[in-house]
Chain A
């Protein structure tokens, strides 16, 4: 369903063809990295730290090296120490050097003839550890007596700079107006403390790669990633190699959600392949995925919101601490930049703290840092609305930013569609329906920046009049279909006459990672640019054939048309069939830095039933409205919206990391790390809002991330409506809800 219909009359954009890669996936023909088998291939296995924090005193690999089938054993000492150079922390995360910083941190790797031989040999490696104290929570790691993870870590953003190392990476502050004045002018002030646990991206396909390093000193890597150009540069950095020695071939990807924007395995496979002269495959188990790959961070947030009786937000004060995992990151900064973005206000004081602690290092997850921030902000806004007796949509409309207003993180808002999302929910069948008995209803909004970055595309016309579109963006959400639709619209070719391909690092120009909801926006822009170049070439071929000025040739619906009308139109196929005689094959390439990414907003409404005797929740109905700019392929836009909601529901209700007292994860499986199953959920209803992004030829904003931002608060607000409880600690699992109900009774 589409909320606004005012846009050009497209022939292909906005239709719903079956994705080009769909059949292969359905019949099992799609090739993932773990499927690849090469002659003589070895199997790698990684020895991981059993300790949350320890010094590595010594590693003895001699017994492992003597075991049957073992061809190579590597440790941190076999890789260069990059120190503070780019990817230095990444290198230390790929394989520990002097210290292990979390349970699951890689310590050594073995390549052997079989996976079993590699596992047995890894178990024969003797590592001497000196166990150190560890921190698993923000409170623990910020405390003055916490064990320091990184000796040289001096907190940034504090004047004067501290003289002693701590686990606090940085303090960030965004300030506007006078926050004390805001609260003095407020009729209502609400404040609460919130906490969230780390959440795993939960992609179904574990990390996997195969590396084949030749005697020429070059290597080929097949792997599952969201960006093979980043795999190339990061792998080369960790190895201390020149980038041109590494070629990366993207495999089909079984889910990423941000978690496959970094590397874990590739340098280990490449190095062991170099040492053994054999290809090496490494495939993680689910247990390894949980213990060693990136969650999105846990957080502790204190927010205070002031408002007037008419609903006007006067100001927001926030103290937001975000876990970074074992190595420094910028999660809290992103939290500060997103927390109040769906609202206008004169005063704000937003303070963020990034901290390291003994857990796997963060990786991106759909709109990183924004969901926790929105959980706090939209819960408190709901409380304000309740206190002053205002409808939760009306209070959001009352404080809704529009084009030209200053965004909290600096720039002025360009064209945005938050108001349209709020109105779409307000006018939805869901919001107009009565709240079911024994249930509650919650509303929340969310924001995400979206980004542009570098993209390349090559479009080649084949001699039979079809086209091949090669891009450098791994397809994690249907982007190949979107590329084909935009090319079809430009060239006037049927969408199935176009073959969209994700090219490796040596066949297509540099392309940044598929992140920031950028593939359809930025890489789509490159595809459109290449197609427009081709259309000019096609018009020139016709003008040569007709011996007329190219300005007299128009490109209409896949045909060169002579505008004065002296010649019969030439189809694209007719031109390509004659191409060899008229100047050679037709192809075009575009490489660009995409500017003008359109901010994404979304508003959700959810009905939740709560069993007050067991604390069990049930999502009865869920509707999401999201501004897509223009939906190139509405089905895949809806899929992204629904996927974000479902992941947000899991985050809100049941997902959590459980550690024992020694910092070891206790629930490293999908049995006990509870992502939602299909029967937990109703069909997620979608309303695509289209407020086109003026910076994109088709108005695309990017839709992959913002959908995960509102669910935490929307569900908390629905639970409040059903029970009267304000749940400020996630997850809102049955034991937590029942305990809170019990306390409320007492």
Chain B
């Protein structure tokens, strides 16, 4: 296995394009455990952390640009970012331990394509976009379209993720992410639920997006739950409808981390609680 540390997107792209067994990595917090577990080593491990653009966190006024290899600790440690997107910041902070936080990235969390990735549902509810580099320059697609199944993405040969763009929330809008793990940290989501809601001045919900993790091969949006919320106040009835819709939207598996029945039931509970938490944040002026 060779190691390369290119300093530009173009250099990285040409290394990747020339070798079908080459692999890019950011913090390697998934790559190294996978190799230790017996997966084949890449021919070249391409370290993206020497490319400035991939390590940046940019405030564009109306949006944030997050370099694909930017450590999650720089997101959680940035007060402005965490104030704008408290749910996404919280989800980013759940990946691994404090030490891992200095290596893990939203880009890696997305491209590893685990159904249980914590940050992906939170990016999806915020309509985040993925900027992907390839031989012909870059293309931008919704984050929701990147993962196509467990361990697989829509990235073609020679393509890699450069950055993620997220618009700042409009007025009276906030997000939340919650996950179920049997412990309090250092674990992988059995169920994850993200919500973003917009409330008008009288407390009626005018827009909502809800996404679930770890309950299907890819992140699941729950349109029925979103419809149930829009047009009225956050009430016991609308929350019950959210829970029922979320449970119904699941397509989970039985595995060592949870059962189908458990994931289905808890997905409803967490979707409801995430909506409540996002709504509370709106009412508290966006603060956590």
Partner of A734, one of B182, B184, B185: B182
Task: Render A656-692 as a binary contact track against B, CB cut-off 8 A, 1 for contact.
Answer: 0010000000110001101011011000000000000
A616 within 8 A of B: yes
Q: Tell me how many residue pairs across A and B have CB atoms closer than 8 Å.
A: 49
B256 within 8 A of A: yes
Partner of B187, one of A614, A671, A735: A671
Name the A residues within 8 Å of B256 (CB-CB).
Answer: 658, 666-667, 672
Name the B residues within 8 Å of A680 (CB-CB).
Answer: 183-184
How many angstroms between the C-alpha atoms of A615 and B256 in the bound complex?
17
How many angstroms between the C-alpha atoms of A734 and B266 in the bound complex?
10
How many angstroms between the C-alpha atoms of A739 and B260 in the bound complex?
12
How many angstroms between the C-alpha atoms of A59 and B266 in the bound complex?
49
Name the A residues within 8 Å of B180 (CB-CB).
Answer: 614, 616, 734
Name the B residues within 8 Å of A677 (CB-CB).
Answer: 183-186
Name which residue of chain B comes closest to A672, CB basis: B256
Q: A739 and B261: CB pair below 8 A? A: yes
- Count the A residues whose beta carbon is within 8 Å of the partner chain — how many? 22
A137 within 8 A of B: no
Task: Render B256-288 as a binary contact track against A, CB cut-off 8 A, 1 for contact.
Answer: 111101100110011000000000000000000
Q: How far is the CB of B273 from chain A (nearest CB, A)?
A: 8
B110 within 8 A of A: no
How many angstroms between the C-alpha atoms of A422 and B188 in the bound complex?
40
Task: Render A479-509 as a binary contact track against B, CB cut-off 8 A, 1 for contact.
Answer: 0000000000000000000000000000000
Interface hits, A144-193 → B, CB 8 Å: none
Name the A residues within 8 Å of B188 (CB-CB).
Answer: 671
Q: How far is the CB of A458 from chain B (nearest CB, A)?
A: 43
Q: A679 and B184: CB pair below 8 A? A: yes
How many angstroms between the C-alpha atoms of A613 and B193 in the bound complex?
15
Name the A residues within 8 Å of B183 (CB-CB).
Answer: 654, 674, 676-677, 679-680
Interface hits, B167-216 → A, CB 8 Å: 180, 182-188, 190
Name the A residues within 8 Å of B187 (CB-CB).
Answer: 671, 674
Name the B residues within 8 Å of A615 (CB-CB).
Answer: 262
A738 within 8 A of B: yes
Q: How far is the CB of A600 from chain B (nearest CB, A)?
A: 30
A654 in contact with B265 given A667-B256, A735-B258, A735-B259 (CB within 8 Å)? no
A195 within 8 A of B: no
Name which residue of chain B comes closest to A675, CB basis: B183
Name the B residues within 8 Å of A739 (CB-CB).
Answer: 261-262
Name which residue of chain A comes closest to B268, CB basis: A613
A602 within 8 A of B: no
Q: B182 and A654: CB pair below 8 A? A: yes
Name the A residues within 8 Å of B270 (CB-CB).
Answer: 614
Name the A residues within 8 Å of B190 (CB-CB).
Answer: 734
Name which residue of chain A comes closest to B182, CB basis: A654
How many angstroms between the C-alpha atoms of A658 and B182 in the bound complex?
15
Q: A672 and B257: CB pair below 8 A? A: yes
A520 within 8 A of B: no
Q: How far is the CB of B186 from chain A (nearest CB, A)?
A: 5
Name the A residues within 8 Å of B182 (CB-CB).
Answer: 616, 653-654, 674, 733-734
Partner of A679, one of B185, B257, B262: B185
Name which residue of chain A comes closest to B259, CB basis: A735
Name which residue of chain B comes closest to A676, CB basis: B183
How many angstroms between the C-alpha atoms of A676 and B186 in the bound complex?
10
Interface hits, A700-744 → B, CB 8 Å: 733-735, 738-739, 742
Q: How far is the CB of A242 from chain B (nearest CB, A)?
A: 40
Interface hits, A599-620 → B, CB 8 Å: 613-616
Name the A residues within 8 Å of B262 (CB-CB).
Answer: 615, 734-735, 738-739
Name the B residues within 8 Å of A734 (CB-CB).
Answer: 180, 182, 190, 262, 266
Name the B residues within 8 Å of A735 (CB-CB).
Answer: 258-259, 261-262
How many angstroms between the C-alpha atoms of A449 and B268 in the bound complex?
49
Q: How far is the CB of B123 from chain A (nearest CB, A)?
A: 23
Q: B184 and A614: CB pair below 8 A? A: no
How many angstroms between the C-alpha atoms of A653 and B256 in the bound complex?
15
Name the B residues within 8 Å of A666 (CB-CB).
Answer: 256
How many angstroms between the C-alpha atoms of A539 and B186 in the bound complex?
59
How many angstroms between the C-alpha atoms of A672 and B33 in the bound complex?
14
Q: B184 and A738: CB pair below 8 A? A: no
Name the A residues within 8 Å of B186 (CB-CB).
Answer: 671, 677
Q: How far is the CB of B272 from chain A (nearest CB, A)?
A: 9
Name the A residues within 8 Å of B269 (CB-CB).
Answer: 613-614
Name which residue of chain A comes closest to B261, CB basis: A739
Q: A614 and B261: CB pair below 8 A? A: no
How many angstroms between the C-alpha atoms of A107 and B30 in the bound complex?
31
A614 in contact with B266 given A666-B256, A734-B180, A735-B258 (CB within 8 Å)? yes
Name the A residues within 8 Å of B265 (CB-CB).
Answer: 738, 742
Name which residue of chain B comes closest to A681, CB basis: B184
Q: How far is the CB of A200 from chain B (nearest CB, A)?
A: 15
Q: How far is the CB of A742 from chain B (nearest CB, A)?
A: 8
Q: What are 16 contact pairs spanning A and B, CB under 8 A?
A: A614-B269, A614-B270, A654-B183, A658-B256, A674-B182, A677-B185, A677-B186, A679-B183, A680-B183, A733-B182, A734-B182, A735-B259, A735-B261, A735-B262, A738-B266, A739-B262
Besides A614-B180, A734-B182, 15 new A-B residue pairs in contact (Cβ under 8 A), listed by A number: A613-B266, A614-B266, A616-B180, A616-B182, A654-B182, A667-B256, A674-B183, A674-B187, A677-B184, A680-B183, A680-B184, A734-B190, A735-B259, A735-B261, A738-B262
Q: A: which residues have CB within 8 A of B? A: 613-616, 653-654, 658, 666-667, 671-672, 674, 676-677, 679-680, 733-735, 738-739, 742
Q: B: which residues have CB within 8 A of A? A: 180, 182-188, 190, 256-259, 261-262, 265-266, 269-270
Q: Which 3 A-B residue pairs are closest in the complex by CB-CB distance?
A: A735-B262, A679-B184, A613-B269
